[in-house]
Structure 1
Amino acid sequence: MTSTVTAPPTPPGRRWAGLGVLSASLLLVVMDMTILNVALPEISAELRPGSVELLWMVDVYSLVVAGLLVTVSALGDRWGRRKTLLTGFALFGLASAAVVVADSAADVIAIRALLGIGGAMIMPSTLSMIRTLFTDARERATALGVWAAMASLGGALGPIIGGLLLENFSWHAAFLVNVPVMVVAVVAGLILLPESRNPNPGRWDAAGAVLSVAGMTALAYAIKHGAEEGLDARTAVTATVAVVALAWFTRRCLRRKDPLLDLRLFRNGAFTSGTIAALTTSIAMAALALLLAQWMQLVQGYSPLETGVRLLPMAVGAGVCSPLAPALAARIGARAVLSGGLLVSGAGFAAMYVLPLGYASVAVALLLVGAGMGALAIASAVIMSGSPADKAGSAAAIEETSYEVGGTLGVAVLGSVAAALYRSRVPAGTPESLGTALEAAAAARDAALALQAQQAFSDSLVLTSGCGAVLMVIAAALVWWRTPAGLDLTAAH
C-alpha cells in the first residue's frame, strides 16, 4: 500500500506555516474545553442547571468526540484530511456563534455536542496531517513536539483567557471567542495546507463505523452514568452494549485487511506506551482542572480572572519544559523522558495530597504538573514513531480517543469519587453541587453550612489529587516497561 497521496512536497516555509495553522487550531480547541471550567459558576448562576445537567455540559463534548473519532478519522483518510479539517473548523465556528440564542441549560448542552462534532473532525486531522506533511523524521519529531506543547499550553491558558473574558463580558464570550479564530483558520488552511489521503483505503466498513460510534458512545455514557448513579439498570444496559459493540468492532478490525481502525498498531511497544501516557494524563488532568477551577472561585473566593492567573504556574512549567523535551529525549532516551514526565506530574498531584491545602501548595503542584506535561510533549512523537505513514489516521484516532476517553473517565470517575466524599461530609439534603449549596446557605443565613460545604469540597480535591498521583506512578511504570530502550524519534519512518 502506498503511504499516502498528497500534493507535491511543500516548501519548508509553507510547511512550518501550515504547522502554525494546525497548532493554533488545536490550541483553541483545548482552550475552549478549559474555558468552560471557569465559566461554569456563571453559567450555573444564570441558567440554574441541575447537577445532572451540569455534568452533561462538561461531559457531552467528550462523549460526542469519543464516539466519532474513529469514524471521522477513517473518513478523513478517504475524503481528504484537509477537507475534514476545514469542515471541522467551519462547524466549530458555527456552533460557537449559536450561543447568542442560548437561554437554557439544554441549549448549552446542544451547542457543546455540536462543538464535539467539530472537535472530532479537527483534532485527529491536525495530527495525521503533521505525520504526512513532515516526511523528514527529525522535522516530524520537532513538529509533533510543538503540536503536543500547544495542547498543554491550551489547557493552561484557557482559564486565563476565560477569566479575562468573564471579567468584561457574559459567559457567552467563552464561546463567541472561537468564531473569528475559526474564520481565520479556514482561510489560512485553504492557502497553506496541502490535501492528503490514503490512496488505497479499501472498502468502507459501514458496519464497523456503526459499531464504533455505538460502542464508544455507550462506553463513555456507561462510565459517566455508572459513576454518578452506581450499577443500575441503565448502566448495565449501556455497558453491555459497549462491550458487545466494541468486541464485535475489534474482531472486524483484526480480521479485515483494510480495517476502519488498525488495532494491530498496539503490537508496537512505543505506540502502546505513548497511548498509555496520553490516556492517564488526560484522566488525571480533566478531574484536576474541573475541581481546581471551582475550588478557587467557590472556596477561595477568587474571580474568574484571578483564578486564571493563579493557574498560570502550569503554563510556566509546560512552557519551559516542552521545548527541551525533544533534545532531552535525544540525549537520555525517549523512554526516560516519557516515564520521567509522568513521575514529575505525579509528584505535583502528590504535593496537593501531602501538603496543607492552600494556594502555595497548589502553585507548587501546578508547576510540577506543568513541567511533567512539558516532558510529555514527545508522547505524540512516540506514538507516531510506532506507526507507518499510511496508518496516520488510525494512529491519530487512537491517540485522540485516548485523550477524550481519558477526559470522560477523569470527570466521571475521579470527579464522582470527589462528589461522593463531598456528599458524605455535608448534612443530608444539602444540594449536590457546591455552588447551589452556598446559595442555599446564603439564603438561610447559615454560615456554618457554607463553611462545612467548602471544607468538604476541599477534602474532595485532596483525595482526587492522591488518586491522580497513584495513577501517574502506575502509568510511568507501564510506559517504562513498554517503550523500547533504544527508541530514536529522529530515525522513525
Structure 2
Amino acid sequence: MAHPSNPADPADPADPAGPADPGGPGRSRSSRWAMLAVLCSSLLLVAMDATILNVALPSLIDDMRPSALQQLWIIDVYGLVLGGLLVTTGAIGDRFGRKRLFLAGFVLFGVASVLAATSDSPTQLIAGRVLLGVGGAMVMPSTLSLIRNIFTDPHERALAIGFWAAVAGAGAAIGPLVGGLLVEEYGWSAAFWVNVPVVVVTVAAGIWLLPEYKAAGTHALDWASAALSVVGIVGLAWGIKHVAKNGPAATGVVILVLGALVLTVFVLRQLRLPDPLLDVRLFRSHPFTAAALATLMAMLAAGAALFLVSLWLQYVHGYSPFEAGLRTLPVALATLVGSLAAPRLMHAVGVRAVMGAGLLGMLAGFLLLALSPEPTSYVYIAVFLVTLGLGDGLAITTSASVLVSAVPPERAGQAGAVSETSYELGVGLGVALLGSIHGALYADLMPRGVPEAARESMGGAAEAAAALGGPAGSRLLETARSAFDQALTTTAYVSAGIVAVVTVLVLWLVPKNFKATGSH
C-alpha cells in the first residue's frame, strides 16, 4: 500500500497502457481537464442539493404544511442516506467500474429530481430526497476516485483536488443563492427541476469523455459488510438526531447504541476479510484519521451554520429567498479562494499548518458570531461567512489530499468513500444536531403563553403572528425574531467548541513536517 508521503504513485494496474505522459494514462493534458470538468459538474449538483432547500424551506412550508419533524427530514435525510451508502458504493465502484457507477448514479439523480419536483405531499418529497441521496452516493466517491486515477502526476493531482474541493464547498455555499433565485421566480420545485438538464448534458459528456477504471484481482462484494455499514451509519446518525431533538428518550438512545454496536461488528469483520469493503487499517495512520475527522467536524459545523444563517436572513430580517441566497455568497467565494490556495500552501508550509490554519479560521468565525452584539447585524454575518469559507476551503482540500494519497489506485474508491462519508455525514449531522440544539434554545427563549406552533419553529411563529394580526401579532413576531437571534449566537458557541477540540486533535495527530502526495 502506498504511504501518504511517497513522492509518486504507480499507474493504475487496471490500465494496461500505463501513463504515457506525466499527468495521466495515455491522455493529453487538455483531455484530463475536460474529464475533471465533467466530474465537477456532477459534484456541483450533488453538493448544491445538500443546501439548496435552505432558502426554499419557508415557501415549501407554506405550500405543503409539513410538521416540524418532517421539515428536518426533508432537509437532512439526503445527507444521512448519502453518508450511509458511500462506503458501499465506493467499494462497488472499485469492483465493477467507477465510470459505470458514476453514470448510473447520475441518471438516478435525475429521475429522483423529477420525483421530488412533482411532489404533492411531504412523504413524496422525502422519498425523492432519499433517492437523490442514493444517486449522490453513487456519484461522489466516483468523482474523487476517478481523479485519483486520471491524474497520476502528484502536482497535477493536488491542483485537481483543489478544484474538486472548491466545487464541493462552493456548491454547498451557492445552493442557497441558486435556490433563492429559482424559488422566487418559479416556486420551490424549481430547486429540483434545475438538476435535470445538467444531468442530461453531463451523462452524455461522461459517456464520451470518461475512462473506465476497475480494480484488478478484487474479490466479490461482501454484501454482509455492505448491510452492516449502511445500518450502522444510518442508525448512528438517526440516533444522534433524535437524542439531540428529544433528549435521552429510550428510542433514540437504543437506536444510537445499536448503530454504534453494528459499526463495531462491521470494523471487526473488515479486519478478518482478505479484501475488505473498507480497509479500516488505514485509520492506524494518524494523518489519515486526522483528515477524516477534520472533514467530518468542519462540515458538521459549516453545514449547520449555512442552514441556520439562511433561515435567519429570511425569518429575522425578512429577506426574500434570492436576497437571502445572495447574502450567503461570501462563503462561496471564500471557499473557492481557500481551496485553490491550499495546494500551494501545503507545498510551502506542510499539511499540518494548512489544516490547522483552516480549522482555526473556522473557530475565529464562530467566536465572532457568538460574541456579536444582539440583534446581530449582517456585517458580522458577512465576516463570519468569509472566515468560515476560507477555513473550510483550506481544511477540506488538505484533508482530501491526505485521504487520496493514502491508498493505491485500485483502492481509490475507498479513499473517496471515507472523504465523502465524512463530508456528507458531517453536513447531515450538523443540521440534525446543531439544528436541534438551536431549536431547543429557541423554544426555551420563547415566553410561556405563546401558541405552541410559535414555540416549535420560527415559521410557526410567523403563521401565528399573521393569524393574531395587529399589535399582538407584531409583538409575537418580534419576540420570536429575538429568540431566534439569541439561539443562533448561543449555537455558535457550541460550534466553536466542536471546532476547537478538532483543531487540537489534528495538530496532535499530524506530524509537523508531514507532506501528502502532491503537496511537494
TM-score between both structures, scaled by the size of structure 1: 0.97
Query: Whole-Å Cα distance in 2 between the matches of residues 461 and 427 of structure 1?
Result: 17
Structure 2 residue 449 is the aligned partner of structure 1 residue 406: no
Unaligned runs of 5+ in 2: 2-10, 18-24
Deviates most, 276-285 or 152-161: 152-161
Change (3 A) 1:140 1:353: same
Work out which of the residue numbers 424, 444, 447 in structure 1 matches 2:468: 444
Does the 8 Å contact 1:23/1:150 carry over to 2?
Answer: yes
Matched residue, 1:182? 199
Query: Residue 478 of structure 1: CA displacement?
Result: 1.4
Query: Whole-Å Cα distance in 2 between the matches of residues 120 and 251 of structure 1?
Result: 24
Query: Whole-Å Cα distance in 2 between the matches of residues 324 and 90 of structure 1?
Result: 33
Matched residue, 1:478? 505
Matched residue, 1:266? 283
Share of identical aligned residues, percent? 46
Query: Residue 132 of structure 1: CA displacement?
Result: 1.3
Does the 8 Å contact 1:201/1:258 carry over to 2?
Answer: yes
Does the 8 Å contact 1:153/1:319 carry over to 2?
Answer: yes
Give the residue type in structure 2 aligned to 1:185: T
Q: Could you give the per-residue CA deviations for residues 29-67 of structure 1, whole angstroms, max 9, x where no partner exists?
A: 111221110111110010010001101101211221122
Does the 8 Å contact 2:47/2:172 carry over to 1?
Answer: yes
Work out which of the residue numbers 386, 395, 407 in structure 2 matches 1:387: 407
Query: Whole-Å Cα distance in 2 between the matches of residues 463 and 4 of structure 1?
Result: 52
Query: Whole-Å Cα distance in 2 between the matches of residues 487 and 368 of structure 1?
Result: 25
Backbone CA RMSD of aligned residues: 1.7
Structure 2 residue 441 is the aligned partner of structure 1 residue 417: no
Does the 8 Å contact 2:358/2:392 carry over to 1?
Answer: yes
Work out which of the residue numbers 213, 238, 242 in structure 2 matches 1:196: 213
Q: Could you give the per-residue CA deviations for residues 192-241 of structure 1, whole angstroms, max 9, x where no partner exists?
A: 11000111222321211111111112111111122112222321331232
Matched residue, 1:430? 452
Structure 2 residue 328 is the aligned partner of structure 1 residue 308: no
Matches within 5 A, 1:125-144: 125-144=142-161
Q: SS at 1:202's partner residue?
A: coil
Does the 8 Å contact 1:335/1:487 carry over to 2?
Answer: yes
Work out which of the residue numbers 2, 20, 41 in structure 1 matches 2:58: 41
Matches within 5 A, 1:78-477: 78-356=95-373, 357-376=376-395, 377-428=397-448, 429-431=451-453, 432-445=456-469, 446-477=473-504
Unaligned runs of 5+ in 1: none
Does the 8 Å contact 1:6/1:194 carry over to 2?
Answer: no
Query: Whole-Å Cα distance in 2 between the matches of residues 373 and 260 of structure 1?
Result: 29
Give the residue type in structure 2 aligned to 1:221: W
Query: Whole-Å Cα distance in 2 between the matches of residues 366 and 236 of structure 1?
Result: 34
Does the 8 Å contact 1:4/1:132 carry over to 2?
Answer: no
Query: Whole-Å Cα distance in 1 between the matches of residues 263 and 131 of structure 2?
Result: 24
Change (3 A) 1:379 1:298: same
Query: Residue 319 of structure 1: CA displacement?
Result: 2.6
Change (3 A) 1:93 1:240: same
Does the 8 Å contact 1:270/1:385 carry over to 2?
Answer: no
Give the residue type in structure 1 aligned to 2:314: Q
Give the residue type in structure 2 aligned to 1:411: V
Q: Could you give the per-residue CA deviations for residues 247-306 of structure 1, whole angstroms, max 9, x where no partner exists?
A: 111100112121111111111122112111101111101211111111100110001111
Does the 8 Å contact 1:341/1:371 carry over to 2?
Answer: yes
Q: Could you give the per-residue CA deviations for residues 284-340 of structure 1, whole angstroms, max 9, x where no partner exists?
A: 012111111111001100011111111111122223332222111111112101110
Q: Could you give the per-residue CA deviations for residues 334-373 of structure 1, whole angstroms, max 9, x where no partner exists?
A: 2101110110111111111112211010011111111112
Does the 8 Å contact 2:115/2:124 carry over to 1?
Answer: no
Query: Residue 4 of structure 1: CA displacement?
Result: 4.1
Query: Residue 3 of structure 1: CA displacement?
Result: 5.1
Does the 8 Å contact 1:73/1:397 carry over to 2?
Answer: yes
Give the residue type in structure 1 aligned to 2:377: G
Give the residue type in structure 2 aligned to 1:381: S
Does the 8 Å contact 1:270/1:386 carry over to 2?
Answer: no
Does the 8 Å contact 1:269/1:386 carry over to 2?
Answer: no
Matched residue, 2:14? 5
Query: Whole-Å Cα distance in 2 between the matches of residues 479 and 390 of structure 1?
Result: 28
Aligned pair count reads: 493
Does the 8 Å contact 1:286/1:411 carry over to 2?
Answer: yes
Deviates most, 476-485 or 70-79: 476-485
Structure 2 residue 515 is the aligned partner of structure 1 residue 488: yes
Query: Whole-Å Cα distance in 2 between the matches of residues 366 and 226 of structure 1?
Result: 29
Matched residue, 1:74? 91
Change (3 A) 1:275 1:104: same
Q: Could you give the per-residue CA deviations for residues 62-116 of structure 1, whole angstroms, max 9, x where no partner exists?
A: 2211221111111111110000000111000111122343111111111100100
Does the 8 Å contact 1:160/1:309 carry over to 2?
Answer: yes
Give the residue type in structure 1 aligned to 2:504: A
Does the 8 Å contact 1:149/1:322 carry over to 2?
Answer: yes
Q: SS at 2:340's partner residue?
A: coil
